[in-house]
Chains A and B, each alone.
Chain A
Amino acid sequence: MSNRKINMKEKYRLLTRDLDWEYSYRDYKEVFPQQEFEGIKITDWSKWEDPFRLTMDAYWKYQAEKEKKLYAILDAFSQNNSQLNVTDARYVNAIKLFLTGISPGEHQAAMGFGQVGRQLGGVGARVACQMQAIDELRHVQTQIHAMSHYNKFFDGFQDFSHMHDRVWYLSVSKSFFDDARTAGPFEYMVAIGFSFEYVLTNLLFVPFMSGAAYNGDMATVTFGFSAQSDEARHMTLGLEIIKFLLEQHPDNLPIVQRWINKWFWRGTRMLSLVAMMMDYMLPNKVMSWQEAWEVYFEEAGGSLFKDLARYGIEMPDYAQTAIAEKEHISHQVWSMFYNYGHATAFHTWMPTEKEMDWLSEKYPNTFDKYYRPRFEKWREMEAAGERFYNPTLPMLCQTCQIPMGFTDMEDPTSIFYRQSEYDGERYNFCSDGCKDIFDHEPEKYVQAWLPVHQIYQGNCGGPSMEDVLGNYYKINLGVDNMDFHGSPDEERWNIWHNLQPAEDKLKQAS
Chain B
Amino acid sequence: MSVAAITPDYVGERRDRLENFHGNQIVYVGWDRHLMFCSPVAFALPPETPFSKLQDEVIPGAFSQHPDFAEIDWSAVVWHLNGAPFLPSRDKSLIEQGVDHKSIIRMATPGLNGIKGSGS
Interface residues of A (CB under 8 A from B): 33-34, 37-39, 183-184, 187, 332, 335-336, 338-340, 369-374, 376-378, 388, 390-396, 403-405, 407, 412-415, 417, 419, 423, 425-428, 441-450, 452-453, 456-458
Contacts and interface: CB of A to CB of B under 8 A. Distances in A.
A39 to B, nearest CB: 7
B101 A458 contact: no
A444 B44 CA distance: 24
Secondary structure of the A contact surface, majority rule: mixed
A374 B35 contact: yes
Secondary structure of the B contact surface, majority rule: loop
Given A377-B120, A448-B15, A457-B22, A426 B102 contact: yes
Nearest to A402: B39
Contacts of A423: 14
A428 B83 CA distance: 12
Contacts of B10: 443
A300 B39 CA distance: 33
Nearest to A439: B2
15 contacts: A33-B6, A184-B6, A332-B38, A335-B35, A374-B120, A391-B62, A395-B28, A395-B40, A396-B42, A423-B14, A428-B28, A441-B2, A446-B12, A447-B14, A457-B20
A425 B3 contact: no
A373 B104 contact: no
A441 B15 contact: no
A395 B103 CA distance: 11
Interface residues of B, number: 50
Interface string B26-47: 1010101101111111111000
A418 to B, nearest CB: 9
Interface in B27-76: 28, 30, 32-33, 35-44, 61-62, 65
* Residue among A425, A445, A449 facing the most chain B CB atoms (10 A cut-off): A425
A425 B42 contact: no
B82 A426 contact: yes
Contact of B40 (A415, A442, A450): A415
A391 B63 CA distance: 9
Contact of B35 (A395, A413, A441): A413
A394 B15 contact: no
A442 B119 contact: no
Given A394-B41, A442-B12, A450-B15, 13 more contacts: A370-B120, A371-B118, A374-B115, A377-B115, A390-B41, A392-B61, A394-B40, A395-B41, A413-B120, A428-B102, A442-B2, A443-B10, A443-B12
